[in-house]
Amino acid sequence: MKILAIETATEGCSAALYLDGEVRERFAVAPREHSRLILEMMQALLAEAGLQVTALDALAFGRGPGSFTGVRIAAAVVQGTAYAAELPVAPVSTLVALAQGCGHETGMHRVLAAIDARMQEVYWAPCEADEHGLMAPVGKEEVTPAARVQLPDGEGWGAAGSGWGAYGEVLTSRLGDRLTAAPEPDRLPHARDVAVLGAAMAAIGDLAPPERAVPVYLRDHVARKMTPLDTPLSC
């Protein structure tokens, strides 16, 4: 299976190529440069592998929540490229991708992913790994003040994301002794984890047509018609 994935919902900008279980990634912390960098990253990965976009099985992207502009960039680039190459898409939650990276690197099976949403709020989702180590949300993703974050039952929680940097004291008080590892406030979502989750979606046929490559903001009042921000990747 061959999947090209991108993630631009936070200050981290990344692209990854999933090739039958092997993942190659380009990653940079580059606020306000995502629209310039992401196509270069995608093209570099394909050139390295000697592939054209049309040889892929699907495109995956971090659909948000996160930075409004960053989420729009990922959705627009993937939608345009998917239309041009006639490929299906895998919209992957940025919060779940964040938890996936944390779980993979630390061995934690439960992770509360939280991204700073500004306006005194956080985007958050408690996630749990299945028997294959793939994270999924336990309940729905939400945007609320940190003091209203709630956890399902269970012990052994890890914590990751910029929300912990902004509201760590409040969030830690919410978790209490269920937090069994130090929070990782500097951890960012990566395209490599979007690729792994996208490959799992493709394996069960859970893919969507290009028009379903749309952002998820969680804040209803920012939703508006998306227009392409970049030229689609050359096919």
Work out whether the CA dihedral 183, 185, 190, 194 comes out positive or negative. Answer: positive
pLDDT for residue 155: 87
pLDDT digits (tens, 9 = 90+) for 19-73: 999 999 999 999 889 999 999 999 999 999 999 999 999 999 999 999 999 999 9
- On whether the pTM is more than 0.85, the answer is yes
Place of tokens 């180590």: 133
Backbone angles phi, psi at 165, to 5 degrees: -70, -35
Closest to 109 in 3D by CA, of 135, 143, 87: 135
pLDDT for residue 228: 44
Tokens at residue 201, please? 């979606």
Are 207 and 31 contacting, i.e. CB atoms less than 8 angstroms apart?
A: no
Neighbours of 68 (CB within 10 A): 17
Neighbours of 91 (CB within 10 A): 24
pLDDT digits (tens, 9 = 90+) for 183-233: 999 999 999 999 999 999 999 999 999 999 999 999 865 444 444 444 567
pLDDT average, residue stretch 78-85: 98
Structural domains in the chain, CATH included, are 2-93+189-222 (3.30.420.40), 94-178 (3.30.420.40)
Are 101 and 115 contacting, i.e. CB atoms less than 8 angstroms apart?
A: no
